[in-house]
């Protein structure tokens, strides 16, 4: 009997990484995670390179436009307006690329902080929910920021300076070429583009620039302010400023005659809290345990397998949860 126990202990020691019923050799699991980490780093670097390339396009275009416009007095000023629109196009392209970069960077950072860093300090194991977030991102990739938020971030970092330089140069062109303007009215008249009056052109440029500045300032606010503003501007979280959905959460209701055994397995394998209620089957008049367990979407299949294995006659109801806060999920909001 002692030899069997020692053999079992040796087998358990050989599979030190146990997670949701799977037992992996430590070396194999670590190798798999290293390859995943390298792949995610490579993808993040690829999209970072694309970000830099888009910014380079904008910088080169602005430099070429300024050289042309100020190269001769007769060169038209509206070239700067065309470049202004082109820079905005580059901003839109770069914002899309930034959303992809943020997704890959999120995975890399998640593995660095919750897996590799956990190897260095006690208790030498990852947090209970790190794999849920990583698996959710791998199974159902979702952008972490909205397109408008990405526009604001890239505008604040790079493009607001390029746009400001373009508009200052445009104003200098209107004021000094072909001859210095005697007053502001002349500058407004010179801003005309074909049949479009100068005042309309200036108004459109001013509104566009003002919107960019406001968006750049908005994304610099704390995240809580940003989400509050999104909720005020767009009811029920609908609209361009609404935050993207995060980890999908579910509430499992389990009706079983083996409540203690099912709850023990859920606590051990899923590491999720379970609340038990007393119930009665109205058809059989027999006592039943009603278990409530909040899980993530990627844990639903494992929960169902645990219930099926422990009590094949149990009844499971899985409902979408609007919001779950507490340990293992989102933290409670600080009182305002």
> 176 to each of 7, 36, 44, 171, 187, how far by Cα in Å?
90, 58, 46, 9, 9
Cα 37 off chain centre by: 18
Q: Which residues contact 192 (CB under 8 A, 6 or more apart)?
A: 198, 201
In terms of DSSP bridges, do strands 287-296 and 275-280 run parallel, antiparallel, or are they unpaired?
A: antiparallel
Phi, psi of 245 (to 5 degrees): -65, 145
314 vs 307: CA distance, rounded Å:
7
Nearest to 162 by CA among 288, 60, 76: 60
Residue-level pLDDT, tens digit, the chain, 336 residues? 444 444 444 444 444 566 666 676 777 778 888 898 999 999 999 999 999 999 999 999 999 999 999 988 889 999 999 999 999 999 999 999 999 999 888 889 888 888 888 888 777 777 767 777 788 888 888 888 888 889 999 999 999 999 999 999 999 999 988 888 888 888 889 899 988 999 999 999 999 999 999 988 888 876 665 555 554 443 333 333 334 445 577 888 998 988 899 989 888 888 788 888 888 888 787 888 899 998 887 788 888 888 988 888 888 988 887 767 666 666 655 443
- DSSP letters along 168-209, please? HHHHHHHHHSSS--SSHHHHHHHT-BTTB-HHHHHHHHHHHH
Q: Whole-model pTM?
A: 0.68
Question: Which helix (H) or strand (E) is 138 found in, with range?
Answer: helix 130-139
Alpha-carbon torsion 73, 74, 75, 77, what sign? positive
Q: Spell out the domains of the chain, with CATH numbers in brackets.
A: 22-237 (no CATH), 249-320 (3.30.70.120)
CB 254 within 8 A of CB 262: yes
Q: Which residues contact 295 (CB under 8 A, 6 or more apart)?
A: 249, 250, 251, 252, 270, 272, 303
Cα angle 216-219-220, degrees, rounded to a multiple of 5: 90
């Amino acid at each position: 009997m002692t030899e069997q126990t020692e053999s079992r202990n040796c087998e358990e020691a050989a599979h030190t990484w146990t997670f949701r019923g799977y037992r992996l050799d430590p070396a194999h699991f670590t190798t798999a995670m290293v390859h995943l980490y390298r792949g995610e780093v490579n993808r993040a670097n690829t999209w970072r390179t694309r970000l830099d390339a888009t910014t380079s396009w904008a910088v080169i275009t602005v430099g070429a436009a300024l050289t042309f416009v100020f190269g001769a007095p007769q060169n038209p000023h509206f070239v700067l307006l065309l470049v202004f629109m082109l820079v905005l196009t580059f901003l839109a392209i770069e914002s899309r690329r930034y959303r992809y970069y943020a997704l890959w960077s999120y995975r890399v950072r998640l593995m660095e902080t919750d897996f590799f860093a956990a190897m260095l300090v006690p208790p030498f194991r990852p947090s209970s929910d790190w794999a849920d977030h990583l698996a959710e991102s791998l199974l159902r990739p979702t952008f972490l920021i909205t397109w408008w938020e990405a526009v604001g971030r890239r505008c604040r970092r790079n493009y607001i300076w390029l746009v400001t330089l373009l508009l200052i140069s445009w104003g200098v062109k209107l004021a000094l070429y072909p001859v210095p303007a005697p007053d502001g009215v002349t500058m407004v008249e010179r801003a005309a583009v074909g049949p479009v009056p100068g005042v309309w052109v200036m108004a459109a440029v001013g509104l566009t620039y003002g919107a960019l500045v406001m968006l750049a300032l908005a994304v610099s606010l704390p995240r809580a302010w940003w989400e509050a503003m999104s909720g005020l501007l767009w009811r029920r979280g609908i609209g361009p400023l609404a935050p993207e959905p995060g980890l999908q959460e579910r509430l499992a209701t389990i009706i079983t005659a083996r409540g203690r055994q099912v709850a023990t397995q859920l606590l051990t394998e899923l590491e999720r809290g379970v609340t038990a209620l007393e119930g009665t089957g109205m058809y059989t008049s027999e006592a039943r345990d009603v278990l409530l367990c909040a899980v993530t979407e990627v844990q639903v299949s494992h929960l169902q397998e645990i219930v099926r294995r422990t009590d094949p006659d149990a009844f499971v109801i899985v409902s979408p949860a609007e919001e779950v806060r507490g340990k293992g999920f989102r933290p409670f909001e600080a009182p305002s």
